[in-house]
Amino acid sequence: MGDGDLILVADDEAYIVRALSFVLSKAGYRVITAADGAEALDRIAGERPRVAFVDIMMPKLDGYEVCRRVKSDPALSDTHIVIVTAKGQRDDQTRGMALGADEYITKPFSPTAVLKLVRRALECG
Partner 1 sequence: MRDLVEQRETLARVRMAGSSGAAIVIGLLAMGAVLRTAFQVALPSTVLAVGVVLAASDLWLAHLPPQQSQRRLDRINFLHHLLDICGITFVLQQLGAAEWGGAYLYLFVVLHANIAYRRLGAMVVTSLCVVAFVSLVMADYWGLSPPAALFPQREALLRDPRYVATMLLWVAVGGLLLFSLNVGAFADMLRGKQDELREANARLQEAAERLRGRSDELELAVERRTQALEIALQQLRAAHAELTRVDELKTSFLANVSHELRTPLTSIRSFAEILLKYPDEESDNRREFLQIIAIETDRLSRLIEDVLDIARIESGHVQWNFSSVEMSSLLSFCVRSVAPLAREKGLALHLNVPADLAPVRADRDRIAQVLNNLLGNALKFTERGEIAVAAAREGDYVRVCVQDTGPGIPDSERAHVFEKFHQIGDGLTAKPRGTGLGLAICAEIVARHGGAIRVDGPPGGGSVFSFALPVDGAQPESAAAPLVLVVASDPAVRQQHRRALEQAAYQVQEAQDAAEAMRLLQSCPVDLVYVDAEPADLRSLDVLRALPTGSNTRQVPVIVACGMEHREWALELGAACHLAKPLGDGELAAAVAQALGARARAAATAPAETSRA
Count of Cβ atoms closer than 10 Å to residue 112 Cβ: 9
> SS3 for 66-101, per residue?
HHHHHHHCCCCCCCEEEEEECCCCHHHHHHHHHCCC
For partner 1, the closer CB: 5 or 12:
12
For partner 1, the closer CB: 14 or 98:
14
Q: How far is the CB of 4 from partner 1 (least distance, A)?
A: 20
Question: 74 preceded by cis ω (within 30°)?
Answer: no
Q: How far is the CB of 73 from partner 1 (least distance, A)?
A: 27
For partner 1, the closer CB: 5 or 21:
21
Q: How far is the CB of 17 from partner 1 (least distance, A)?
A: 9
Provide the 8-state DSSP code for 41: H
User: Which residues of this chain interact with partner 1, rule CB under 8 A?
Assistant: 12-16, 18-20, 22-23, 26, 35, 57, 59, 86-87, 107-112
